Structure 1
Amino acid sequence: MNETQAQTVQVSRLSDDLAFLDIVTEWDITSGYHQWKPGMVVPRTFMSRDTLHRVYAVANQKGGVGKTLTALELALAMVARGKRVRLIDADPQVASLSSWIPVFYPEGVTDRRSLTDVYFDRCTLAEATYPTAYAGLYLVPSFPDLATVEGDRPTGAETCLRYHLWDAGNDDFDVTIIDSGPSLGSLTVSALVAAQDVIIPVQAGSGLDIEGAAALYQTINTVTTRMNRDLRVAAIILTDFTRSKLARTIGAEMAKAFPESLIVPTRTCIEIGNAQLEKKALRQHTPDATTVLDYDRAAGVLLNGVTH
C-alpha cells in the first residue's frame, strides 16, 4: 500500500481564539429568550472514560439527523489531539462514511474486505480496516451487502463487534467510533453491545426527534440490562442548531431526560453538502465553520473531561 504526503491530509488542532460555544453546567431555561445564549452543557457529574481504548456508538433510529457527520467530525477532532482513530461504517445505506471519505485500499487487490465480511467470519476486523486520506484515521468500510446482516442474522451478530474490539486482541487504536444506520436492528444493537458510550444526534429543529431518542433509549436500557452494563449515554448532539425557542425547548427536554450527558449544540453550516460532494470532511473543507468548532469542543470533553 503506497501512501504519499500529497495523498495524506494532516489533521491539525484548531486555534483557541475561534468562536467556540461557552461551557455551562446546565441548560438555561429561565432567562428571557432575547437574553438567552446557548452553550454546551457539561454536567458536574460527567467524567470521561479512563481507558486505553475508547469505543463510541453514534446512534439514532431516525435517518437524516447527522449521524455520519457526527461520527466523522468527532473522529477528526480526536485525531487532531493525537489519537489513532478507527471509524466503523455500520450503515448499509449508500450515502454513508464509505462514500464520503477517500480510503487507501492495497494496490492490485480486488477483494476489498468490509464490515459484512467481519460479521460472516470471512476476515477479522483488523483485516477489514484501511487507512484513509486523513493521517491517523482508519475506516472499516461497508458496502450495500451489509444489509444482509439484518436479513440473514449470522450467528452471534449482536456480539460480533464486541468480540473483535475487546476479546480478539489489541490492534493499537486509541478510539473506535461506530456509525450506526437508521434502525434499531442487529447492526445497531451490535454497536451498542460493543460500545462504552453512545452518542445520540437529534435535530435541534424537529420536535419528532425527541420521540426517536426516547425509542432508542428503551433499546439502550435493554442492552444495558442484558448485554452491556457499562454502556452509558455520553452525549446528545443537537444538530443543525440555530438559536430559536424550539431549539431551546428541545435542548431543555434532552437535558432533563439525560441529566448526566453532554448536551452539545452543533451550529448549522451550509457548506456540509458541498463538503460531501467534494469528498472532504467539513473540518478540511471549511475548518473555521462553527459546526466544526462545536464538534471539536465536544471531542475534547469526551476525551479529557472539563474542570468546572
Structure 2
Amino acid sequence: MRETREKVQLQPLDHDLAFLDITTEWDLSSSYHDWRPSIAVPATFVPATIPRVIAICNQKGGAGKTTTALELALALIARGLRVRIVDVDDQEASISVWLRYYMDDRPEELRYNLRDLYFNAKVKLSEASYPTDFENLTFIPSFPDLGEVDEKNPVGADTCLQRRLRQGADDVDVTIIDCGPRLGQLTVSALVAADDVIIPVKASSILDMKGVAALQKVVNVVKDTLNPDLRIAAAVLTDFSRSKMTRRIGGSLARAYPDAVILPARTNVKVGEAQLAQQPLRQFAPRETTTLDYDLGARVLFGLGAAA
C-alpha cells in the first residue's frame, strides 16, 4: 500500500493573461500581414450542458488527443466540475501511463480496467474507476489488451460504453473519452456514448486532415444508426503557430464544421517537457500559452465565459 498523497486542488487561471481573442468566424479575409489567430466561436455554437460526454477523436496518431483530453479535464475541474477520463487508447503512451498511480493501491485481482467493462458484465463501472492526484478527477484506465475489443467484437460492444457510463452518470459532471488512432469498434463505442466530439488536428499537418475525413465517415454512420444527436463541437489546432498553412487548415475546418469552435492550442516546448515529466501541462507550466489556450477553450465550450 503506497503512502497517501495529498490531493492537488487546481485553481482557475488569471483571465487577463495572454489568451487568444474570441471571434465569431475564422479569419480568411484579411491580409496575412494583418491576420491575428483567435478562437472562432460561431454565433450558431451551442455551449455544452451538464452532464456531458465528450469523445476526443482523430484517426491520425500524434495529433494531440491525449494532451487535449487531459488539459480540458483539468481546466474543468479547476472550475469546480467533477470529471471522469476514460482511456480508450491501448497504446503504451496513453493517458493511463500518466494517471495509473492509484491502481497499485488495490489487490492485483481487483485492478479492473476498461477491457473488463466490455468482457465481464459483473464488473461495475465504479470498480474500474480510480481516483487521481487531482481533486474531482477520476479515470478508467486501459492497457494493451484493450485491443481485444476490436479483435473479438464482444456482443453489445457498440453500446457497451454508453450503457456503462449511464451507471455512473450521477458521479461526475463531464466524462471525457480519450480515443485511440484506430477507427474500429472502440472508437464506434466511444462515439455512440458521446454527446460531443472534439477533433484535435496538428496545425501543420495536411495528413491530419485526411484523418478528419476518415473520422467524419464513421461519425456519419453512428449518427445515422445509433446516436443521431452526436455533434462535432470543436476542432483543436494543436502545435499551432502562425503560418499560411495553419490558416488554411483552420479555414477548412471552419467550413467543414460551421457550428463548431475552432481552438488554436499554440506550440510550446513545455508540452514535450511536461510529457517527459509525466505531468499535465497545467501543473507543469500553468502560465504558458498552450495552457491558457486550453483553459479558455474549456470555458468557451461550456459557456463559462472568460472571467475567473
Using structure 2 for the length normalisation, give the TM-score: 0.95
Q: How far apart are 1:61 and its partner, in Å?
A: 0.7
Partner of 1:220: 219
SS of residue paired to 2:155: coil
Q: How far apart are 1:282 and its partner, in Å?
A: 0.5
Partner of 2:37: 38
Partner of 1:123: 123
Gap regions ≥5 residues in structure 2: none
Q: How far apart are 1:278 and its partner, in Å?
A: 1.5
Q: How far apart are 1:253 and its partner, in Å?
A: 0.7
Q: Deviations over 1:47-84 (max 9, x none)?
A: 1133x310000001110000000000000000001001
**Structure 1 residue 142 and structure 2 residue 142: aligned?**
yes
Distance 2:135 2:195 in 1: 25
Distance 1:202 1:220 in 2: 16
Percent pairwise identity: 53
Q: How far apart are 1:172 and its partner, in Å?
A: 1.5
Q: How far apart are 1:199 and its partner, in Å?
A: 0.3
Partner of 2:155: 155
Distance 2:127 2:65 in 1: 25
Do the aligned partners of residues 73 and 3 (structure 1) sit closer, same or farther apart at CA in structure 2, a change above 3 Å counting? farther
C-alpha contact (below 8 Å) 2:100/2:141 kept by paired residues: no
C-alpha contact (below 8 Å) 2:89/2:178 kept by paired residues: yes
C-alpha contact (below 8 Å) 1:158/1:190 kept by paired residues: yes
Q: How far apart are 1:305 and its partner, in Å?
A: 6.0
Using structure 1 for the length normalisation, give the TM-score: 0.95
SS of residue paired to 1:64: coil
Q: How far apart are 1:170 and its partner, in Å?
A: 3.3
SS of residue paired to 1:101: helix
C-alpha contact (below 8 Å) 2:58/2:212 kept by paired residues: yes
Distance 1:58 1:230 in 2: 16
Q: How far apart are 1:12 and its partner, in Å?
A: 1.1
Correspondence for 2:65 among 64, 67, 86: 67
Distance 1:128 1:286 in 2: 30
Cα RMSD after superposing both structures: 1.6
Q: How far apart are 1:103 and its partner, in Å?
A: 3.3
Runs (4+) of structure 1 exceeding 4 A deviation are 1-4
Distance 1:276 1:147 in 2: 24
SS of residue paired to 2:269: coil
* Number of residue equivalences: 304
Distance 1:93 1:144 in 2: 6
Distance 1:251 1:21 in 2: 15
Do the aligned partners of residues 212 and 191 (structure 1) sit closer, same or farther apart at CA in structure 2, a change above 3 Å counting? same
SS of residue paired to 1:14: coil
Q: How far apart are 1:301 and its partner, in Å?
A: 1.2
Partner of 1:257: 256
C-alpha contact (below 8 Å) 2:202/2:208 kept by paired residues: yes
Correspondence for 1:88 among 78, 83, 86: 86
Q: Deviations over 1:198-253 (max 9, x none)?
A: 00001100112112101111110110010001100000000000000000010011
Comparing 117-126 with 196-205, greater Cα deviation is found at 117-126
Gap regions ≥5 residues in structure 1: none
C-alpha contact (below 8 Å) 1:282/1:292 kept by paired residues: yes
SS of residue paired to 2:190: helix
Do the aligned partners of residues 207 and 108 (structure 1) sit closer, same or farther apart at CA in structure 2, a change above 3 Å counting? closer
